Amino acid sequence: MADLQHFDVAIIGGGPAGQAAAVALSGHGLSIAVIDEQPRPGGQILRQPPARFAVQAWLEGRSYAPLKQLLARFQALSGITWLGEHSVIGVQQGSVMAMGPEGVTTISARHILIAAGCQDLAVPVSGWTLPGVYAAGGIQAFLKGQQLLVGSRVLLAGTHPLQLLIAAQIVAAGGTVAAVMFAQPRSAMIGALTKHPLAALRRAPDLLATAGALRTLARAGTPVLFGAKIEALTGNDRVSGAITNQGQVACDAVGLCYGFVPQSAVPRMAGAQMKPAGPAGGWACVHDEWMRTSVPGIAAAGEAVGVAGAAAAAAGGSLAGIAIALDLGLIDADAADRAARQPRRALLQHRAFAALLDAAADPTDHFPKPAGDTIICRCEDVDHATLTGQVSAGGSANAIKLATRCGMGACQGRNCEPSLLRMIAETGPGSDPGFTARFPARQVSIADLLPPE
């Protein structure tokens, strides 16, 4: 175990929220550590290629420009200790444990900001364990970081509009998209826009980007289908096709895109109050108007407080940074209020657009129906039939975890918990708090936790 490191502020996450918080805290002479699993800052939205690589036309779209400007400001800051390639494995009030290239490091801090991101909602369907089946965000990560294609004929399926943008990026990189399949009818997506007209108007550039993606796909001859639901994925050594309610589709890669859930393991482990995150499932961190959580000295921003996109994450990060400066006595209440006006207003607007997306992409009635032998917990090979029996017997998530090992594997339930909670919710009223978050949040060897000899 590495030596203890001391900082004024520890920021968990180097995406837009963490960057914006660091920028807001700059100029106050604070020692700030920014901890991230990636070697370079940017988060998943600005997934930078390795420093020794040169990627032509890296994220040149108009929507990425403000985020790249924020990244440049962050990288120009002094007094920042960048702890890349470090996975946070434990958090409690005043300290963070992270696993890095040289082992486990314990970081003490007067204030901690959890600026974690989100992950694709894992959606089980028969055949989803075949090689070549990805979360759509995984496909996009290859494209963003190094412009790599995961297959020669990619099928995108789900309910979230992001799959249109990913499909257009695949086409721009020289790939072929077999189809983009939305499980919901077109009317459901149009209805969401008409119910949130002001939010749609304020984010017109995003809607125009979606329209641009549709034009790109039309030129490429890519079918965009509505009411098209995945029933099973087929193949032997690799996925080779999909069975849908509208026929069979040949492909050698599949991206499932039913929405996103917050990375909630760290705030849950810290004891922060949580709430259901949205129609896709998952848990979001409860916070006050200054992004403070229920645990003193710990704030939260970014997708950890609810999936609302990079712009909302940056606004929440700025707000959290201002609040930390206020709590440390570096600025007075009047100065904090003045500085908070713009990010607070922006956060409200971006969350309104996120609510529109939630309505348009709501997967609640459109999940595939797994067969009994469909694996739900991939880490521990627990299938749907096994979980169905436990749920029918009235088991809670934690009880089912003990009985079946569902959620005990390497991912600590990040992938299987939403599916299990949906199954529990279908059996009757009431809500289940989900798995109890336990240390460590990521895999770590016992040897790395032992004190040095």
* Residue % of the chain over a pLDDT of 90: 81
pLDDT score of 219: 97
Cis peptide before 276 (omega within 30 of 0): no
Q: Please give the residue that has the higher pLDDT: either 201 or 32.
A: 32
Tokens of 179: 């189809």
Tokens of 55: 């990627």
pLDDT score of 207: 76
The class of domain 122-258 in CATH terms is alpha beta
CA distance 304 to 162: 19
CA distance 180 to 242: 12
Contacts of 201 (CB under 8 A, 6+ apart): none
* Residue % of the chain over a pLDDT of 70: 98
Task: Check whether 211 has a pLDDT greater than 70.
Answer: yes
Task: Check whether 317 has a pLDDT greater than 90.
Answer: yes
For 294, other C-beta atoms within 10 Å of its C-beta total 16
pLDDT score of 145: 77
Task: Check whether 214 has a pLDDT greater than 80.
Answer: yes
Write the secondary structure of the chain as one string of H (helix), E (strand) and C (coil). CCCCEEEEEEEECCCHHHHHHHHHHCCCCCCEEEECCCCCCCCCCCCCCCCCCCCCCCCCCHHHHHHHHHHHHHHCCCCEEEECCCEEEEEECCEEEEEECCEEEEEEEEEEEECCCEEECCCCCCCCCCCCEEEHHHHHHHHHHHCCCCCCCEEEEECCCHHHHHHHHHHHCCCCEEEEEECCCHHHHHHHHHHCHHHHHHCHHHHHHHHHHHHHHHHHCCCEEECCCEEEEEECCCEEEEEECCEEEECCEEEEECCEEECCHHHHHCCCCEEECCCCCCEEECCCCCCECCCCCEEECHHHHCCCCHHHHHHHHHHHHHHHHHHCCCCCHHHHHHHHHHHHHHHHHHHHHHHHHHHHHCCCCCCCCCCCCCEEECCCCEEHHHHHHHHHCCCCHHHHHHHHCCCCCCCCCCCCHHHHHHHHHCCCCCCCCCCCCCCCCCCCCHHHHCCCC
pLDDT score of 1: 58
Task: Check whether 58 has a pLDDT greater than 80.
Answer: no
233 and 128 Cβ atoms separated by less than 8 Å: yes
Domains 5-119+261-357 and 122-258 share a fold: yes
Average pLDDT over residues 24-46: 95
Chain centroid to CA 268: 16
In this structure, are strands 230-235 and 224-226 parallel, antiparallel, or unpaired? unpaired
Q: What is the pLDDT of residues 99-135, one digit of tens each?
A: 999 889 999 999 999 999 999 999 999 999 999 999 9
pLDDT score of 88: 96
Q: What is the pLDDT of residues 17-26, one digit of tens each?
A: 999 999 999 9
Q: Please give the residue that has the higher pLDDT: either 163 or 429.
A: 163
Task: Check whether 274 has a pLDDT greater than 70.
Answer: yes
pLDDT score of 429: 66
| Superfamily of 5-119+261-357 according to CATH | FAD/NAD(P)-binding domain (3.50.50.60)
CA distance 306 to 286: 9
Domain extent listing, the chain: 5-119+261-357, 122-258, 375-425
Q: Please give the residue that has the higher pLDDT: either 1 or 10.
A: 10
pLDDT score of 3: 65
Q: What is the pLDDT of residues 344-382, one digit of tens each?
A: 999 999 999 999 999 999 999 999 999 999 999 999 999
32 and 60 Cβ atoms separated by less than 8 Å: no
Neighbour order of strands in the sheet with 247-250: 230-235, 239-244, 247-250
The confidence band for 316, taking pLDDT boundaries of 50, 70 and 90, is very high
From 399, 404, 409, 410, select the one nearest 434 (Cα to Cα). Answer: 399
The confidence band for 453, taking pLDDT boundaries of 50, 70 and 90, is low
Considering 404-408, 438-442, 446-450, the range whose residues carry the highest mean pLDDT is 404-408
Task: Check whether 198 has a pLDDT greater than 90.
Answer: no
pLDDT score of 235: 97
- Mean pLDDT estimate for the chain: 93
pLDDT score of 54: 73
